[in-house]
């Protein structure tokens, strides 16, 4: 298998995640897009780890998964809090820091 | 004393300072300091004179100490037949015929100097130059000062500023002596100016009267006008001779390489100073007005000493004038002409004065004219001798007039109104005044005869016949107006209001002393008897042109005495027998011609009118108006225009630059910043996704850039 | 090799489709389910790359926990189940441009950099991806990050509770 396959796949996922972050209105959907991006990164890491027979890539990927999980937890807590305040998960409603 | 002559001016200077500081507290209010100092100075002057006489008498005709005097110019006395200067002890042949051979062995003056400043290669010195002329002047100045000081203790008694009067008198004595012993022209100038200042102070002693202070200012300014010439002359002589020292300047004037043009210019300019200070025409107008000062001042300053400072200058720097005015060539020259004119106009004006002091003032002007004329015709000894004798009898006349006023005319000087018939009441004053008048008129054997006669004789001998006639005319007039003066004062009816009595000793003793001198002083140069001591002792023998000395001419002497006596007789006849001369009485009122002449004289030839109204008024009027117009329109116009323009420019600057550009810039910046901020504010949407968009877009761009760059 | 390639392509395409579904669907729950597909596909890829431990952790954690949390979050925030309102905001098209652009850049970069590199699936690779190997690597070389990450988890846990608590 070509390395590039994995890498391009990962790039595609990543950019899709970017689109999701920028374009989605629901806060939870944004978080999901973040998860997409993180997975893209993970695929990249593991691909390189396989490419160079280094195990550290996989270790790194594990750590990323861990951190992503933690991040999702905290992130959703924040989303809940926001929801309690503005009563909608719509991110466009959260513009109190408008200049 | 010759070597320490500087002490003599120092004593009255110290007295001046002493009187200033402690005078009021002394028992005699400072007069004792003044009299003490001048008395000691007089004694020292006598000593110096004796020493000089001894020096002359015992001189063995040493070589000219030219090197010792610091000049390397060999002086060839002018007029010699091209012979070498005589070796030691030889006689100096004179060129004029009919002269005795004089044993004129050269006697160097005693010169000491100290350099007090040095700048640009020029050494400024101060010192003493003592020779016969100096010692004679010192003698005269100290003696008359002493007598006047003593006189003043009585005359000025009770005056509010008695102490200051003596302080000023002491300062004057110190200044005059400084002038007399001066070794260089700068020091001379210092003394000259100081005596001018003292004259101003003393004339205006009673300055509460407006006329007195005006007279003081007039005196100062008129002499100042002459001083301009003096200063320029001193500068010219400095650049000509390369030195300020008197011996140096005289040596230069007599040397072969002297530039005649410079000598003429220097002599003419310095002569202006003489004209001012010694009351020659046309700057004589201050002297009569100076009579506003107290009589002792008039006696000391305006008769005997200060006014002769000009004549002294002429005598001191005689080679300059001699060569500059080409006196040796005979004929008319500026000095003699001015002197001659002064003799006549002074004498004429003395006839129409009612104030006794003014009569004497014009007489002084006339006599000063004699001295200057004598210098102008080459009669140096005659001029100086006349200075010598005139000091005595003129001071005597003034002091006697003061005595008359003080004790006889109730402090007035008006002869017509307050005097007359004072002879029985004031015998000493009368007889001394008579002696003075006779001396002034030139009657044998009084002092004035010898000196005036010598002038006349020299005028005849050296070919200046015209001036001989002028001198004779002056002598006639002098005799006449003095007779008028004596008559109006001492004879006839007493017209005054006071109780005339004789003055006290402090006044009469100086009168007697001066009278004695007026009788005897002439005998030092009684050429009729072959005595020529004055000439021997006083005439310089080095750095001095060879002059002709006229012999005593019996004929001329007889003529001069007789015309004087005739004048006295005629005037006396007129006055004593006035009632019988009805035709002459009131002539000036009846006859238009006589009246015109009288008016002309009374208005002093309209000279004062000329000076104040024509010259000064002409300047003040149109010139001043023109200057004022120029100032207001042009200068002020420019200045105001500048100011207005500046203001407008400032306004423009303010409006455009400051408000517009600068403030505009700043305000604009602030406003734009605000607006930019307003614009930028829109970026802060508060929406996180928008921020994220910006983030990723930037990342994309950066990635591209990195890609391209790498 | 062919088998792996085919497997790869199938998995990859489904992952891509699901990813697009995540960001394009109007139903939030559908998005979560699409995400499950993506995550599962990622796990499959890991296995293809002989990283078995990572793959199973992926399934366990991501699909097993993270997605559950997402679903809880969706439920708690009363996200609209129906598509009443569009789930995309105003900057869809600019976002699309940026995303595509970024994709283009990345692809160019990757092609340029890693042109024909291949991954050799051999025993060495298998040995590398064994769990024991990974574990020993964690607990030997990377023990410090491991401990730090556990602290991080603790902090996140506490933080999440602190933030979301009703008080």
Q: For B100-144, give the DSSP string.
A: PPP-------EEEEEEEEEETTEEEEEEEEESHHHHHHHHHHHHH
* Top-confidence range, A93-97, B216-220, B282-286, B654-658: B216-220
Helices (H), B532-635: 533-538, 554-576, 587-590, 592-602, 607-608, 617-618, 624-629
pLDDT at B104 over 70: no
Best of A17, A21, A22, A30 to substitute, by most chain C Cβ atoms within 10 angstroms, is A22
Decide if C70 and A25 are in contact by the 8 Å CB cutoff.
no
- Is-contact B188 B179, C-beta < 8 A? yes
* pLDDT tens digits, B526-570: 766 666 777 777 777 777 777 766 667 777 778 778 888 888 888
- Is-contact B362 B478, C-beta < 8 A? no
Decide if A36 and C103 are in contact by the 8 Å CB cutoff.
no
* pLDDT on residue B281: 84
Q: Which chains touch C (3 or more CB pairs under 8 A)?
A: A, B
* pLDDT on residue B678: 82
* pLDDT on residue A99: 66
CA angle, corner B340, sides to B335 and B346, nearest 5?
Answer: 120
Q: Searching chain B, which residue's CA lies closest to the CA of residue A96?
A: B686
pLDDT at B74 over 50: no
Angle between helices B447-461 and B505-520 (to 10 degrees): 40
Nearest to B681 among A30, A91, A99 (CB): A99
Burial of B10 (C-beta count, 10 Å sphere; 0-12/13-18/19+): middle
Contacts of C94 in chain B (CB under 8 A): 693, 697
- How many CB atoms are located within 10 Å of the residue B555 CB? 9
Nearest to B703 among C95, C99, C105 (CB): C105
Decide if B707 and C109 are in contact by the 8 Å CB cutoff.
yes
Q: A60-67 long-range CB contacts below 8 Å, 24 or more apart?
A: A61/C51, A61/C54, A62/C53, A62/C54, A62/C57, A62/C134, A62/C138, A63/C142, A63/C145, A63/C146, A63/C149, A64/A38, A65/A38, A65/C54, A65/C57, A65/C58, A65/C61, A65/C62, A66/C61, A66/C149, A66/C152, A66/C153, A67/C149, A67/C152
ipTM over 0.85: yes
Tokens representing B393 are: 């009898």
* pLDDT on residue B84: 39
Q: What is the DSSP letter of B355?
A: B
Q: Searching chain A, which residue's CA lies closest to the CA of residue C127?
A: A53
* pLDDT on residue C82: 55
Q: What average pLDDT does chain B have?
A: 81
Specify the higher pLDDT residue, B213 or B576: B213
pLDDT at B87 over 60: no
Q: Which chains touch A (3 or more CB pairs under 8 A)?
A: B, C
The CA distance from C23 to the nearest CA of chain B, in Å, is 14
* Top-confidence range, A8-12, B77-81, B414-418, B625-629: A8-12
Q: Searching chain A, which residue's CA lies closest to the CA of residue C56?
A: A62
What value does the mean pLDDT take over residues B277-300?
88
pLDDT at B602 over 80: no
Q: Identify the weakest region by mean pLDDT among A2-16, B127-141, B250-264, B579-593.
A: B579-593
* pLDDT on residue B95: 35
Three-class secondary structure of residue B684 per DSSP: coil
pLDDT at C84 over 90: no
Query: What are B245's strand-pairing partners?
Result: B184
Q: Which residues of chain A have pLDDT under 70?
A: 99
pTM reported for the whole predicted model: 0.61
* pLDDT on residue B233: 93
Decide if B686 and A94 are in contact by the 8 Å CB cutoff.
yes
* Domains of chain A with bracketed CATH: 3-93 (1.10.287.3510)
* pLDDT tens digits, B462-484: 667 788 888 888 888 888 888 88
Torsion B126-B309-B390-B397 (CA) sign: negative
pLDDT category of residue B167 using cuts at 50, 70 and 90:
very high
Instruction: State residue B646 phi and psi, 5-degree precision.
Output: -60, -40
* Residues belonging to chain B with any Cβ–Cβ distance to chain C shorter than 8 Å: 687, 689-690, 693, 696-697, 699-700, 703-704, 707
Q: Which chains touch B (3 or more CB pairs under 8 A)?
A: A, C
Q: Write the CB contacts of A45 (distance below 8 Å, at least 6 apart in sequence).
A: A57, A58, A60, A61, A64
Contacts of B689 in chain C (CB under 8 A): 89, 91
Decide if A11 and C157 are in contact by the 8 Å CB cutoff.
no
pLDDT at B662 over 90: no
Annotated domain spans of chain B: 326-602, 607-697
* Top-confidence range, B334-343, B579-588, B620-629: B334-343
pLDDT at B653 over 70: yes
Best of C28, C34, C35, C54 to substitute, by most chain A Cβ atoms within 10 angstroms, is C54
Q: Identify the weakest region by mean pLDDT among A31-35, B333-337, B452-456.
A: B452-456
* pLDDT tens digits, B313-331: 999 999 888 888 887 777 6
Helices (H), B278-306: 286-289, 295-299
Torsion B396-B399-B401-B404 (CA) sign: negative
Decide if A11 and C110 are in contact by the 8 Å CB cutoff.
yes
Specify the higher pLDDT residue, C130 or C69: C69
pLDDT category of residue B80 using cuts at 50, 70 and 90:
very low
Nearest to C23 among A24, A47, A63 (CB): A24
pLDDT at C74 over 90: no
Q: Searching chain C, which residue's CA lies closest to the CA of residue A35?
A: C35
What value does the mean pLDDT take over residues B331-336?
83
Decide if A96 and B693 are in contact by the 8 Å CB cutoff.
no
pLDDT at B61 over 70: no
pLDDT at B224 over 80: yes
- Check if B678 contacts A (Cβ < 8 Å): no
pLDDT at C56 over 90: yes
pLDDT at B399 over 80: yes
pLDDT category of residue B505 using cuts at 50, 70 and 90:
confident
pLDDT category of residue B105 using cuts at 50, 70 and 90:
low
Decide if A50 and C156 are in contact by the 8 Å CB cutoff.
no
* pLDDT on residue B94: 35
Torsion B481-B482-B484-B485 (CA) sign: positive
Q: Searching chain A, which residue's CA lies closest to the CA of residue C161?
A: A77
Name the residue among B542, B93, B99, B100 with its Cα closest to residue B318. Answer: B542
């Amino acid at each position: 298998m070509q390395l590039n396959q994995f890498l391009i796949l990962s790039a595609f996922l990543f950019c899709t995640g970017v689109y999701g972050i920028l374009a989605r209105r629901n806060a939870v959907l944004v978080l999901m897009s973040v998860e997409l991006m993180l997975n893209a990164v993970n695929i990249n890491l593991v691909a390189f780890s396989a490419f160079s027979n280094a195990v550290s890539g996989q270790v790194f990927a594990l750590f990323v998964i861990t951190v992503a999980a933690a991040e999702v937890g905290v992130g959703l807590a924040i989303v809940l809090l926001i929801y309690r305040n503005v009563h909608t998960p719509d991110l466009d409603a959260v513009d109190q820091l408008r200049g | 004393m010759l070597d320490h002559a500087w002490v003599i001016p120092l004593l009255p200077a110290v007295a001046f300072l002493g009187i200033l500081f402690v005078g009021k507290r002394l028992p005699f209010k400072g007069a004792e300091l003044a009299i003490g100092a001048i008395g000691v100075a007089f004694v020292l002057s006598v000593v110096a004179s004796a020493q000089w006489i001894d020096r002359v008498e015992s001189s063995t005709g040493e070589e000219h100490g030219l090197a010792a005097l610091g000049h390397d110019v060999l002086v060839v006395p002018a007029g010699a037949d091209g012979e070498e200067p005589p070796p030691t002890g030889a006689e100096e042949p004179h060129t004029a015929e009919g002269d005795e051979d004089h044993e004129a062995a050269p006697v160097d003056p005693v010169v000491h100097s100290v350099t007090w400043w040095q700048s640009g290669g020029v050494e400024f010195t101060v010192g003493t130059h003592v020779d016969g002329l100096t010692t004679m002047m010192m003698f005269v100045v100290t003696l008359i000062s002493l007598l006047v000081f003593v006189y003043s203790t009585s005359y000025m008694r009770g005056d509010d500023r008695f102490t200051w009067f003596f302080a000023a008198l002491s300062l004057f004595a110190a200044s005059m002596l400084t002038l007399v012993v001066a070794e260089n022209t700068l020091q001379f100038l210092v003394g000259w100016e100081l005596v001018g200042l003292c004259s101003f102070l003393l004339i205006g002693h009673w300055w509460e009267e407006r006329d007195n202070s005006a007279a003081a200012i007039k005196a100062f300014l008129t002499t100042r006008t002459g001083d301009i010439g003096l200063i320029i002359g001193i500068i010219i002589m400095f650049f000509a001779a390369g030195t300020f020292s008197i011996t140096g300047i005289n040596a230069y004037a007599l040397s072969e390489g002297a530039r005649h043009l410079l000598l003429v210019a220097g002599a003419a300019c310095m002569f202006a100073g003489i004209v001012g200070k010694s009351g020659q025409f046309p700057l004589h107008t201050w002297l009569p007005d100076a009579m506003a000062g107290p009589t002792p001042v008039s006696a000391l300053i305006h008769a005997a000493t200060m006014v002769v400072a000009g004549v002294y200058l002429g005598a001191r720097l005689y080679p300059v004038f001699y060569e500059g005015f080409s006196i040796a060539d005979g004929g008319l020259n500026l000095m003699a002409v001015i002197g001659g004119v002064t003799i006549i106009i002074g004498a004429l004006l003395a006839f129409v004065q009612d104030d006794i002091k003014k009569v004497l003032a014009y007489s002084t002007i006339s006599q000063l004219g004699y001295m200057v004329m004598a210098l102008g015709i080459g009669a140096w000894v005659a001029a100086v001798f006349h200075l010598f004798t005139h000091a005595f009898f003129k001071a005597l006349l003034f002091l006697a007039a003061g005595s008359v006023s003080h004790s006889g005319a109730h402090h007035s000087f008006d002869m017509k109104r307050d005097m007359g018939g004072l002879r029985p009441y004031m015998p000493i004053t009368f007889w001394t005044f008579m002696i003075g008048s006779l001396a002034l008129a030139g009657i044998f054997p009084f002092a004035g005869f010898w000196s005036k006669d010598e002038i006349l004789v020299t005028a005849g001998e050296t070919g200046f016949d015209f001036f001989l006639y002028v001198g004779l005319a002056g002598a006639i007039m002098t005799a006449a107006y003095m007779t008028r003066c004596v008559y109006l004062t001492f004879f006839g009816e007493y017209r005054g209001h006071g109780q005339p009595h004789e003055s006290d000793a402090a006044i009469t003793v100086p009168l007697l002393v001066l009278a004695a001198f007026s009788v005897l002083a002439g005998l030092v140069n009684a050429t009729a008897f072959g005595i020529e001591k004055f000439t021997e002792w006083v005439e310089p023998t080095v750095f001095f042109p060879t002059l002709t000395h006229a012999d005593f001419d019996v004929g001329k002497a007889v003529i001069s005495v007789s015309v004087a006596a005739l004048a006295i007789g005629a005037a006396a006849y007129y006055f004593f027998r006035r009632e019988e001369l009805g035709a002459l009485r009131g002539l000036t009122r009846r006859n238009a011609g006589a009246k015109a002449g009288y008016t002309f004289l009374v208005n002093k030839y309209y000279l004062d009118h000329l000076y104040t109204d024509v010259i000064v008024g002409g300047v003040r009027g149109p010139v001043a108006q023109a200057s004022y117009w120029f100032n207001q329109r042009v200068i002020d116009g420019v200045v105001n225009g500048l100011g207005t323009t500046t203001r407008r420019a400032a306004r423009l600057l303010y409006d455009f630059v400051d408000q517009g550009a600068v403030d505009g810039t700043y305000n604009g910046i602030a406003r734009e910043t605000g607006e930019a901020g307003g614009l930028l504010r829109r970026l802060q949407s508060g929406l996180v996704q928008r921020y994220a968009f910006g983030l990723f877009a930037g990342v994309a761009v950066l990635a591209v850039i990195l890609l391209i760059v790498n | 090799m062919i088998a792996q390639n085919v497997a790869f392509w199938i998995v990859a395409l489904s992952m891509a489709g699901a990813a697009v579904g995540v960001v394009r669907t109007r139903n939030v729950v559908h998005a979560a389910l699409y995400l499950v597909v993506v995550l599962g596909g990622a796990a499959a890829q890991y296995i293809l790359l002989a990283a078995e431990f990572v793959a199973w952790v992926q399934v366990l954690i991501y699909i097993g926990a993270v997605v559950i949390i997402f679903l809880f979050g969706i439920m708690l925030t009363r996200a609209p189940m129906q598509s009443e309102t569009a789930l995309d905001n105003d900057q869809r098209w600019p976002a699309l441009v940026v995303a595509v652009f970024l994709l283009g850049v990345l692809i160019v970069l990757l092609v340029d950099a890693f042109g024909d590199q291949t991954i050799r699936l051999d025993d060495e690779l298998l040995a590398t991806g064994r769990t024991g190997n990974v574990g020993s690597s964690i607990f030997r070389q990377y023990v410090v990050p491991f401990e730090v990450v556990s602290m991080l988890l603790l902090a996140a846990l506490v933080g999440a509770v602190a933030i979301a608590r009703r008080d």
